[in-house]
Amino acid sequence: MSLSAFLLSTLCAVTPDVAPNDWTILFYGGVDNSAEESFCPDIEDMRKRLPEAGKVEVFCLVDRSEGFTASTKGFGADFHDTRLYQLKREGAVRLDGRPELADITLDSTYEANTADAKLVRDYIRWAKAHHPARRTALVFYTHGNGWLFCPDETAGDDELYPAELTDVLVAEDSLDLVVFDVCEMASLEDAWQWRPGTGGFGFDVMVATPMAGFPFPWNEIFRRFDDPANLSAVDFGRFVVEETEKQRRAELASGEVPAQMRGMVEKEAMSCLRLDRVGAVKEALDALAVVLAADERTEDVLFDLRAGRDEDAVLHYFAASPLYADVLDLAEQVRDDEELPDAARSAAGALVDATDELVVASYGLSAYDRFGGFQSGRHGVQLMLPPLGLAMREAWARLSFLTPDTCPSGTRGYGRYAFCRDGATPGDGVVTNWWELLDLTFDPDDEDGGANGYAP
């Protein structure tokens, strides 16, 4: 290393002797895919409404795609590599990311893989070292479908997985709030993976969608930052939900939504979750699994929960494959089923109460009216079930990524879900968590543990 490079790296490593921000907000633009088309205009609009310069700083790590637009909006330049910016009302200022983001400089053409959890980790560490704050938020802006997100086309369509974050990041990388401006990430499985207090990486509040239409209206969300010093992570998350719902309903009422897009937008739902409360939800769900496993009608019960007993009792389904069902709906169906044992109904009642505490704010649009309506602040947490219309083994195979183990090399997925692992003892012959109940039902055990090699 040259003397000048050594001096620069030394200077970059010194944390500024300044009071911490009220908020440092980190946008993670994983848009080396078609999300790039909306990202740059959204950044342009959002910048105009950023809080006044002071104790809120907003940054963006962005990896753009060569295949979609040549826009200079948002950043004042057209580029297709990975860059780091500070976002201000008057413009975007390109930054040097060293030493944490060693390959990103003011004139670099570095092509990062935004599907690599190490890049997420290094971005957070850069921010905490150089722009410390009382509270830190991370916003993922990209594509996703619940069990993967941030597809990077230049990196061979690599993808980022929930457990990859907890395998690579550590407790010191933890955050106050994470917002997924991404489809279908509001799952109980993901919430459990990222809950705080495990001794590893986690965050306190999560905003995500069981089903998304368009990107979030960040220009309107930032208008709510009138008192950032007293803005909690829960308040910030609630603002995201409230402003997005307000804009979506206004767009639908005005007729601005193109006819071909209206159906998708009407399926949109969003929730803000307090992850310190997810433990009670998993405990109640696992207790329900234990009771159902002891009932000789387990298979019929699970089939009924997937299929719905009649048109008026169908679960809220947010997506088809895998089948994302609303946790509250599932719990209420079991609680209210007089044919089930009292123990099952009692466990389901506890699950209803725990889910109510988990959900801080939520909304769902008109597509859910036929299910009896989306109850704001209650519905909006999804749970993965094997999809409908398939034989049991085939349906379970669609969830091969949902496993406590590492997915085999060459398969699409990562595995290592704490939701599947925690509370279970493989091979003891006893169902003790919800995932083991699904495995027992849809992948009947044989000598080698069935299709996935797992024997409860």
Is residue 89 in some structural domain? Answer: yes
pLDDT at 431 over 70: yes
State the Cα–Cα distance between residues 304 and 313, nearest whole angstrom.
10
pLDDT at 14 over 50: no
pLDDT at 422 over 50: yes
pLDDT at 192 over 90: yes
Q: Are residues 100 and 228 in the same domain?
A: yes
Is residue 26 in some structural domain? Answer: yes
- The residue from 276, 308, 328 where one domain ends is 276
Q: Which of 44-48, 163-167, 446-450 has the lowest mean pLDDT?
A: 446-450
Phi/psi at 156 (5° precision): 75, 35
As a whole number, mean pLDDT of residues 137-143 equals 97
Pairing of strands 82-88, 133-141: unpaired
Beta bridge mates, 26: 59, 138
State the Cα–Cα distance between residues 273 and 358, nearest whole angstrom.
6
Q: Are residues 394 and 257 in the same domain?
A: no
pLDDT at 275 over 80: yes
Is residue 246 in some structural domain? Answer: yes
Q: Are residues 95 and 222 in the same domain?
A: yes
- Cis check: omega of the bond before 132, within 30 degrees of 0: no
Mark residue 427 as left, alpha or beta (left: phi above 0; alpha: psi -120 to 50; beta: remaining): left
State the Cα–Cα distance between residues 82 and 446, nearest whole angstrom.
49
Is residue 373 in some structural domain? Answer: no
Q: Two tokens at 309? A: 């007993």
State the Cα–Cα distance between residues 82 and 103, nearest whole angstrom.
9
State the Cα–Cα distance between residues 124 and 353, nearest whole angstrom.
35
State the Cα–Cα distance between residues 347 and 258, nearest whole angstrom.
44
As a whole number, mean pLDDT of residues 84-110 equals 97
Q: Two tokens at 349? A: 């009642």
The confidence band for 260, taking pLDDT boundaries of 50, 70 and 90, is confident
State the Cα–Cα distance between residues 344 and 353, nearest whole angstrom.
14
Beta bridge mates, 21: 133
Considering only CA atoms, give the Rg of the chain.
23
Beta bridge mates, 455: none
State the Cα–Cα distance between residues 122 and 379, nearest whole angstrom.
35
Q: Which CATH number goes with the domain that contains 254?
A: 3.40.50.11970
Is residue 370 in some structural domain? Answer: no
* SS3 category, 274: strand
- The residue from 257, 276, 295 where one domain ends is 276
Is residue 325 in some structural domain? Answer: no
Q: Are residues 403 and 267 in the same domain?
A: no
State the Cα–Cα distance between residues 150 and 158, nearest whole angstrom.
8
Beta strands, E only, 244-355: 269-274, 317-319, 323-326
Residues 6+ apart with CB under 8 A from 435: 402, 404, 417, 419, 420, 424
DSSP 203-255: EEEEEEEEE--S---HHHHGGG-S-GGG--HHHHHHHHHHHHHHHHHHHHHHT
Contact 365, 214 (CB under 8 A): no
pLDDT at 53 over 90: no
108-112, 142-146, 252-256: which has the highest mean pLDDT?
108-112
What pLDDT is recorded for position 222? 96
Q: Are residues 74 and 204 in the same domain?
A: yes
Beta bridge mates, 24: 57, 136
What pLDDT is recorded for position 314? 45
Number of domains forming the structure of the chain? 2
**Among residues 401, 347, 358, 398, which one has the least CA distance to residue 381?**
358
Q: Are residues 60 and 202 in the same domain?
A: yes
What pLDDT is recorded for position 52? 79
Contact 379, 269 (CB under 8 A): yes
Residue type, 201: F
State the Cα–Cα distance between residues 242 and 233, nearest whole angstrom.
14
How far from 324 is each of 68, 127, 198, 403, CA to CA, in Å?
A: 30, 35, 26, 16
Is residue 293 in some structural domain? Answer: no
State which residues form the domain around 453.
Answer: 390-456
Q: Are residues 113 and 248 in the same domain?
A: yes
Q: Two tokens at 335? A: 């609680």
pLDDT at 277 over 80: yes
What pLDDT is recorded for position 17? 62
pLDDT at 7 over 70: no
Q: Two tokens at 203? A: 């965050």
What pLDDT is recorded for position 217? 95
Is residue 176 in some structural domain? Answer: yes
What pLDDT is recorded for position 320? 64
pLDDT at 319 over 80: no
- The residue from 260, 276, 292 where one domain ends is 276
